Amino acid sequence: MKTFNIAVIAGDGIGKEVVPEGIRVLEAAGRRFGFQFNWRSFDWSCETYAKTGKMMPPDGLKQLQPFDAIFLGAVGHPSVPDHVSLWGLLIPIRRSFRQYVNLRPVRLFEGIETPLKNWKPGQIDFCIVRENNEGEYSNIGGRIYEGTDDEMAVQQSIFTRRGVNRVLRFAFELARKRKKRLTSATKSNGIIHTMPFWDECFHQMATVYPDISTDQYHIDILSAHFVRHPDWFDVVVLSYLFGDILSDLGPAVVGSIGIAPSGNLNPEKEFPSMFEPVHGSAPDIAGKGIANPIGQVWSGAMMLRHLGASEAADSVENAIAEILAQAKVRTPDIGGRSTTGDLGAAIAALVSGKK
């Protein structure tokens, strides 16, 4: 029987509550479709940081490298500055393992209320492809004259032809498997070196994919279109910062941040990819057992697809759609009173039971 070796980093807060539900559903999928998992947990988190001063051990990346994939909950705690948890764990994993694509599907499900009026399930269904290795989130820069009136801070954006082209290629290929429409957005009127460079790469790449229709916007008007015309989009490709912002707006438009998944992908599979919900550790509801596990479970379905178990991935995604449409088992964020465990168990039961 095929066995997938998965590194599990539940992290902090509700990460610890939703990850077990993700595992429960994936186990059910494995039983049904004839594969199994070897889960190995790593207690890397802000809690660990408080004890050891490190988010992960010095050889942490070496420990993760042999795994088929990484299944992550969320990291972050009010006692640890957010840049410490991000740069101490997530960014090193994304960069070292060349997870240069951050893929975030946005889909309106039946049974989820959207803050936008008059949209029906099926009308909003697109994917955000965020560049995940370079761009605006670089550690090149610094400060001088700290604490004085002359203080100055510089942070350098990095856009390489290789880095931009590889994420564009992924986005074009993804569009080819979907509705064949790709949107790119930058801010090339204001940021006059890196952003026109991205636009140029986009136009050049478009000539290689004549079957894909392309659109290009400035990021400010694109965010307005996300709200006014969410049905226009199929695949949207963005640099790190813009992708980060729009990929919170996308899920907000279709209901709850608690259901949004993401994959940090190394498409070449030279390194493990990492799957995590879009939401964070939600300290405001942590420990109450009411977090919505769907973002984690759906991230698990993306992991199955990446590992080649696409039938199982479909079954998990269908179970999510069905449970939301039935509207019986729901956590408070989507208007119900069920617990994290109730919702995880209900999805797992559907995955075990029928196609």
276 binds Mg ion (CB under 5 A): no
CA distance 238 to 217: 11
Q: How near is the Cβ of 348 to ligand NAI at its closest, in Å? A: 17
163 vs 344 by CB, closer to ligand NAI: 344
257 binds ligand NAI (CB under 6 A): yes
Among 135, 263, 295, 300, binds ligand NAI (CB under 6 A): 295
Q: Which does 268 bind (CB under 5 to 8 A by kind): Mg ion, ligand NAI, none?
A: none
Stretch near Mg ion under the rule CB under 5 A, chosen from 63-71, 78-86, 140-148, 242-250: 242-250
Stretch near ligand NAI under the rule CB under 6 A, chosen from 73-81, 148-156, 160-168, 192-200: 73-81
323 binds ligand NAI (CB under 6 A): no
74 binds ligand NAI (CB under 6 A): yes
Q: How near is the Cβ of 245 to Mg ion at its closest, in Å? A: 7
Mask 194-233, x = binds Mg ion (CB under 5 A)?
A: ----------------------------------------
320 binds ligand NAI (CB under 6 A): no
21 vs 244 by CB, closer to Mg ion: 244
SS3 string of the chain? CEEEEEEEEEECCCHHHHHHHHHHHHHHHHHHHCEEEEEEECCCCHHHHHHHCCCCCCCHHHHHCCCCEEEEEECCCCCCCHHHHHHHHHHHHHHHCCCCEEEEEEECCCCCCCCCCCCCCCCCEEEEEEECCCECCCCCEEEECCCCCCCEEEECCECCHHHHHHHHHHHHHHHHHCCCEEEEEECCCCCCCHHHHHHHHHHHHHHHCCCCEEEEEEHHHHHHHHHHCHHHCCEEEECHHHHHHHHHHHHHHCCCHHHCEEEEECCCCCCCEEEEECCCCCCCCCCCCCCCCHHHHHHHHHHHHHCCCHHHHHHHHHHHHHHHHHCCCCCHHHCCCCCHHHHHHHHHHHHHHCC
28 binds ligand NAI (CB under 6 A): no
Contact 238, 129 (CB under 8 A): yes
291 binds ligand NAI (CB under 6 A): yes
281 binds ligand NAI (CB under 6 A): yes
Among 244, 276, 317, 333, binds Mg ion (CB under 5 A): 244
30 vs 344 by CB, closer to ligand NAI: 344
Number of residues that bind ligand NAI (CB under 6 A): 20
Identify the residue whose tokens are 């029906």: 120
76 binds ligand NAI (CB under 6 A): yes
Among 276, 307, 315, 316, binds ligand NAI (CB under 6 A): 276
Could you list the residues that contact Mg ion (CB under 5 A)? Answer: 244
Could you list the residues that contact ligand NAI (CB under 6 A)? Answer: 14, 74-76, 82, 90, 257-258, 276, 279-285, 291-292, 295, 333
